[in-house]
Amino acid sequence: MVDFELTEEQIAIKAMASSFAQKNFQPNAGIWDQEEIFPRMELQMAAELGLAGIYISEEVGGAGLNRLEAAIVFEELAAACPSTAAYLSIHNMVAWMVDHFGNEEIRHRFLPGFTKMNLMASYCLTEPDAGSDAASLKTEAKLDGNSHYILNGAKAFISGGSTSDVYAVMCRTGAEGARGISCILVEADTPGLSFGKKEKKMGWNSQHTAMVHFDECRVPIENLVGQEGDGFKIAMAGLDGGRVNIAACSVGGARAALELSISYAQERKQFGNAISHFQSIQFKLADMATELETARLMVYRAAKSLGNANAEATMHCAMAKRWATDIGSKICNEALQIHGGYGYLKDFPIEKLVRDLRVHQILEGTNEIMQLIIAKRLLDQKAG
């Protein structure tokens, strides 16, 4: 059962994240977007508040919070800048995978840097020919003696490509299929690691995206996370949390769009009245608020389910991701409609929210894949 009331500590966490984001992200979001600036300094400032290791063990510098508290944080950060919040979500996902699956040596070698964001992390799963079908990935890691792996292959659409310091790479160490995949950390200065051009994207411009190439890339065997063959399990477990986080980012971005729409509707006058007096606008605002609330509740349920290791956690995460990202994008589009022509101008923040939230329906598994995950679980339950 989900308790809908936040504790005093969670209310304080929410206020802290909101205050930080409104002071440090929101005033700069438009500039970062237009000039494609990666805000390294501001991300490191976020790390000083524990936001680079939200649900990471305190012994290695993490904040030790739970998944619901992480969702609360990401909503607040995304209300100020969805693009920057989403990169921080990816970084936290990688840090969690290392903390949860890594041995003591690799945890203590990487996690203090991750939690301070002296080391920034990227997640490398998708390939040019392996997107939704992740188990078919081709990037290969072959043992070179007893000390190193040699990586060859390429990853596509990597957030932080060319700007991150460590890349969590899902690669093939064994036979075809999911059981032949392992997770290896590749550091940015590794010979044989290179990057494609910075992609020109519709949104998410404060985080750079590029192809990541491995050409006889020699990585110490100590950089293996977990055991050989654990990579697909690690990737999917990380994605459960990543889906909750990106759903929370959609809630945050959509909330900002709704708040802007309410203010604009009260100020904008047509036919002698503020447009907030028109029933058509009132109905839009009412639907936007209702749909936003349902999305937030689904995110909270998924976050609690994941934190409690509920048997239905994967399905709940998929449901929350599918609903919140679809609804978040819809709300932003409705907000643009309320703003009319002004909403289409880059002088107003609405068009950025529309662009930034659109990709949430694609990444961390497309929403069509979320539907498959949900349907499979429903059918398995019935068969059982």
Residues 6 or more apart in contact with residue 243 via CB below 8 angstroms: 302, 317, 318, 320, 321, 364, 365, 370
Cross-strand bridge partners of residue 140? 152, 172
Which CATH fold topology does 8-120 show?
Butyryl-Coa Dehydrogenase, subunit A; domain 1 (1.10.540)
Please give the model's pTM, rounded to 2 decimal places: 0.95
pLDDT given for residue 383 in this prediction: 76
205-232 burial code (b ≥16 CB/10 A, e <16): bbbbbbbbbbeebbbeeebbbbebebbb
Q: 122-230 — its CATH code? A: 2.40.110.10
Residue 122 has which token pair?
């990227």
Output the pLDDT for position 216: 97
* Cα Rg of the chain (Å, integer): 21
Just give the CATH number of 232-383: 1.20.140.10
Q: What is the pLDDT of residue 129?
A: 87
Q: At what angle do helices 67-80 and 82-101 cross, to 10 degrees?
A: 150
Active site residue 364: yes
Q: What is the mean pLDDT of each run of 10 residues along the chain (384 residues)?
A: 82 98 98 97 98 97 97 98 98 97 97 97 93 87 95 96 96 93 97 96 96 98 97 94 97 98 96 96 98 98 96 97 98 98 95 98 95 95 74
The one catalytic residue among 5, 222, 364, 368: 364
Task: List the helix and strand counts (H, then E) for the chain.
Answer: 11, 10
Quote the pLDDT of residue 1. Answer: 57
Question: Which pLDDT tens digit goes with each residue over 340-371?
Answer: 999 999 999 999 999 999 999 999 999 999 99
Tell me the domain boundaries of the chain: 8-120, 122-230, 232-383
Query: Is 270 in contact with 281 (CB distance < 8 Å)?
Result: no
Indicate the length of the chain as a whole number: 384
